Amino acid sequence: MAPCLIESLATTEPLAEVFSDISILEAMLDFEVALARAEAGVGIVPKSAADRIRAAARASEFDIPKLSRGMFRAGTPGIPLVKALRERVRARDPKAAGWVHWGATSQDVADTALVLLLKRARPILVGDLERLEKALRALSERHQTTLMLGRTLMQAAPPVTFGLKAAGWLGALGRGRKRLDSAFEEALVLQFGGASGTLASLAKKGTAVARALAQELGLRCPEAPWHTHRDRLANLVCCCGVATGSLGKMARDISLLMQSEVGEVAEPGGQGRGGSSTMPHKRNPIACALALASAHRIPGLVASFLSAMVAEHERGVGGWQSEWPTVASIVQSTGSAASSLAEVAEGLSVDCARMRKNISNTNGLIFAERVMMLLAGELGRDVAQKLLEGTIQKSIRQNQDLGAMLAQLPEVNSRLTRSVLRQLEIPEQYLGSAEAFRRALVKSTSSNKGKR
């Protein structure tokens, strides 16, 4: 389903579907059905009652606007949901209605439903991140020898390769995905504790029901209920924040490289992507803009979640009630960034000639470090630095090539051979360990497979 208009720049269609009203309702009903089945399995609820509950739990037959209004009045999703489900069961079997929600509390429904939504969202996120990793790996391999300016503090610096830059994005993404994998594994656990987190209403069968319920839902059964211990979810949203920050860094780099004055890369266009409503010539970094929007949005949301962790005793007041929209926004924003940049990386245009030309346009000034290292050994660091600073300023004023000006200085040409002077500004000879670093980054992610 398409996202609502106000969220159209903050999610993707698959994730909008996961967090849609009908999907949320289905997740809550899944909990209630699984609970009845688990309790029937250990001899608490009659099997016929569990069957009636399952038959009545059809999300499409519930009045969602009425439920929403009831949730606002009750301060929890569980109370109006259970009431509506009981009414539907009662219409078919009055005795079975009494077994709905047996031994559970409203927060059990809300928390487990949220976890089930996260379980559904996980493969969508992983799929887009895998697409992006695959595309970045291919970009890095294809451009392992493509030379470009390094840029520090937004200024030209000694050369790098575009393959290394892409591998840097890939390495951060791979590390972020590994953290997300681990965080999802930890967070996908059942919430089932009853009134005070002891399952006292189920007597000695509480833990057996919990294990059976977790199995029914395909979740792990935690050591104990976690009503006011939100650390697992907190870890997940923080990992989303870090991963989206890395995606934002990539988007920032690409959008800067797309500037007209730089012109080294371009996002794929077409199908309404990248145009301007008033300037037909423009090719805007729209996918990068969406990723950057997510990177701007998420830190505040993560902070909001962390502030809500300070819960009171066995049931918090206002903290966990804030989590549904916060977590949903964080996960959807992460997915929006990942999907947008996967599209970018798969169709990115790289202008190798423009990259080379931008190196040449520096008149060799980016190789000043190389000259400094050569002359320092001959003249001493202080003398070499003073000589080089004067020559650089003259080169800038006269718009002349640094190497040619250095070759005219007796202090230089008497110490550096003509061969060395001719090679000062060959960028391929001043890449250091760039290729070794690139290969190491690619290798570090080659076996990083997401779990589904």
Tell me the CA distances in angstroms from 165 to 146, 176, 253, 360, 431, one per residue in order: 10, 17, 9, 19, 13
Query: Which is catalytic among the residues 315, 354, 356, 415?
Result: 315
**CATH no. of 106-189+226-360+433-452:** 1.20.200.10
315: annotated active-site residue: yes
pTM for this entry: 0.93
Active-site entry in 8, 276, 307, 446: 276
What residue ranges do the domains of the chain occupy?
A: 1-104+197-216, 106-189+226-360+433-452, 365-424
The CATH superfamily assigned to 1-104+197-216 is Fumarase/aspartase (N-terminal domain) (1.10.275.10)
Give the pLDDT confidence of 148-173 residue by residue, as tens digits: 999 999 999 999 999 999 999 999 99
276 belongs to the catalytic site? yes
Phi, psi angles (nearest 5°) of residue 271: 50, 45
Local confidence pLDDT in tens for the 452 residues of the chain: 788 888 889 999 999 999 999 999 999 999 999 999 999 999 999 999 999 999 999 999 999 999 999 999 999 999 999 999 999 999 999 999 999 999 999 999 999 999 999 999 999 999 999 999 999 999 999 999 999 999 999 999 999 999 999 999 999 999 999 999 999 999 999 999 999 999 999 999 999 999 999 999 999 999 999 999 999 999 999 999 999 999 999 999 999 999 999 999 999 976 655 554 444 445 789 999 999 999 999 999 999 999 999 999 999 999 889 999 999 999 999 999 999 999 999 999 999 999 999 999 999 999 999 999 888 888 888 988 999 999 999 999 999 998 888 888 888 888 888 788 778 889 999 999 999 999 999 999 986 554 44
| Residue 270 CB neighbours (<10 A) | 8
**CA 118 vs CA 9, 45, 195, 233: distances in Å:** 20, 29, 24, 10
106-189+226-360+433-452 shares the fold of 1-104+197-216: no
Question: Regarding the domain with residue range 365-424, which homologous superfamily does it belong to in the CATH classification?
Answer: Fumarase/aspartase (C-terminal domain) (1.10.40.30)
